[in-house]
Structure 1
Amino acid sequence: MEIEWIESQFFSTEKISNEMIIIHHTGSHNGKINSLQGTISWFKPDEWRSSRQVSAQYIIAREERPIIQMVQDEHTAWHAGRSQWEINGVLCHNLNNRSIGIELQGDGQLFPYTKFQYEALIWLVKQKMEQFNIPIELIRGHEEITSRKPDPGPYFDWERFKKGLTSVTVPGPTDDDGDGIIWLDENEKVKIPSGKDRSILEVIIDFFAGLFK
């Protein structure tokens, strides 16, 4: 997966930490999904505007292409607005300076997201979870941290997304469909290769299977 850098003017260098990941959608107009270029231009206008200054760290397009990054992870993007969530037992406000914002091109109130978007989102979020030690419980939709916003909406498949986050990538004959991933589900049987590799995979599978209990 590749990342393309296009810098937004709308950010601040002051940030507390990266404790959350917040998922958004770019929205639509008159039933038509806002274009990728339109979203980029909104975050990086040709001329400075003093109002409605918004941005996010990342944008994931509907079609296969590099993920767009517009604000450094270490900087504060302006995506969460008036918001609140409990982090480590403390109710925190203004989550911009505690989070990474990811925009999905689309409107989750009207349209499903694409296969590529789930793949790219899972890949990106896994990287950030590991890099900043972010637990899965602090990956939230914009609609969860404020009553003002509806995204990523009912068409966002949280079960599919979280299942992807807890998948194990392994080589060899266990990969029945050739995508390099074993999906762990307590209701499904997972084939494990015999011999030396068996004990290693059993430990991994037992660990992740416990997450679903």
Structure 2
Amino acid sequence: MFKWLLLFAGAGLFYLWIKGKKQAKLDSENPIDLNKNKPKKVIDPEVMVQCQYCKLHLPESEALQHDSRFYCSKEHLQVLDSEGWIGNAHWCVSPNQDARPENISPDLAVIHHISLPPGEFKNQTSSHHIVHFFQNKLDPNGHPYFAEIANQKVSSHFLITRSGQLMQFVSTQNKAWHAGKSSFFGRDKCNDFSLGIELEGDGETPFEEVQYEALNNLIKKVAGAYPQLQFAGHSDIAPDRKTDPGKYFDWKKFQKETGISPDKLPFGLGS
């Protein structure tokens, strides 16, 4: 009897061993997908943005970003758009602007210099005061000179800082308040038909090379949009009141590096 029990036990163990081998083979041929019953991760759609220049929609990861704006290419980042703004400029919109007279496009670019407080750029970065001035946010208590000018309403289309940074305050399609009482060969009110370009400086200090480089790049962009542009200093259109851009602005260097025809510098290279 005992022999039969051993025989049955052995047969049972052998059966279980054979069954285990078969199951192992099945498992190896059909592995269990441990992730089968896990909830699938939801992939959020990529944020789409619009090119400021051409209005093309594209994924944010593929766009070039400057300030809070997006562009589809370097070319579109660096040009003057259809609304009169340059993409790679830092936009600081000024309230001191209005519409040009009907059917008038700019055909004059006026070069200025500005420094707030006067000459302070020699000691520390001070271009933010110019930005505040053009936006009517200048603190009259910040400096004695500020108290004299804080209530003036002034702007320019562009500012080039001592570090060569380009800032834009007014669309080229609109009128900035930069020229004041002025006349260009018998045409008064130069704001109506001009662009104002401010270089950070005081008239007693040579301008920086990076400022000339930024100015040259700017001129290429605006001259492409306004091919009839002529160029003058503030002192040329308001000689009784103004001296800027001053004796340290190198008109010959400006003409040579931009390739502007001397005919478009009506006051001469010794302006």
User: Which residue does 2:177 correspond to in 1?
Assistant: 78
Describe the superposition over 1:186-209 as per-residue Cα deviations: whole angstroms up to 9, x where unpaired: xxxxxxxxxxxxxxxxxxxxxxxx
1:154 and 2:253 aligned: no
User: Which residue does 1:6 correspond to in 2?
Assistant: 92
1:59 and 2:151 aligned: no
Structure 2-normalised TM-score? 0.54
CA contact (8 A) 2:100 2:193 kept: no
CA contact (8 A) 1:21 1:100 kept: yes
Describe the superposition over 1:3-46 as per-residue Cα deviations: whole angstroms up to 9, x where unpaired: 11110010002342201000000135464348210100000123
Q: CA RMSD in A?
A: 2.2
Gaps of 5+ in 2: 1-77, 79-87, 139-148, 261-271
Give 1:126 deviation, angstroms. 1.7
SS at 1:125 equivalent: helix
User: Which residue does 2:231 correspond to in 1?
Assistant: 139
Q: How much identity, in percent, do the aligned residues show?
A: 34
Query: Structure 2: how far apart are the matches of 1:162 and 1:30?
Result: 27
User: Which residue does 2:17 correspond to in 1?
Assistant: none
Structure 1-normalised TM-score? 0.69
Give 1:130 deviation, angstroms. 1.7
Gaps of 5+ in 1: 168-213
Query: Structure 1: how far apart are the matches of 2:134 and 2:250?
Result: 26
Query: Structure 2: how far apart are the matches of 1:118 and 1:30?
Result: 21
User: Which residue does 2:214 correspond to in 1?
Assistant: 120
Q: 2:197 aligns with which of 102, 126, 146?
A: 102
User: Which residue does 1:21 correspond to in 2?
Assistant: 109
Question: For the pair shown, which has the larger CA radius of gyration, 1 or 2?
Answer: 2
CA contact (8 A) 2:116 2:127 kept: no
1:42 and 2:136 aligned: no
SS at 1:38 equivalent: helix
Judging changes above 3 Å, is the alpha-carbon distance between structure 1 residues 141 and 36 closer, same or farther for their aligned structure 2 residues?
Answer: same
Give 1:51 deviation, angstroms. 4.4
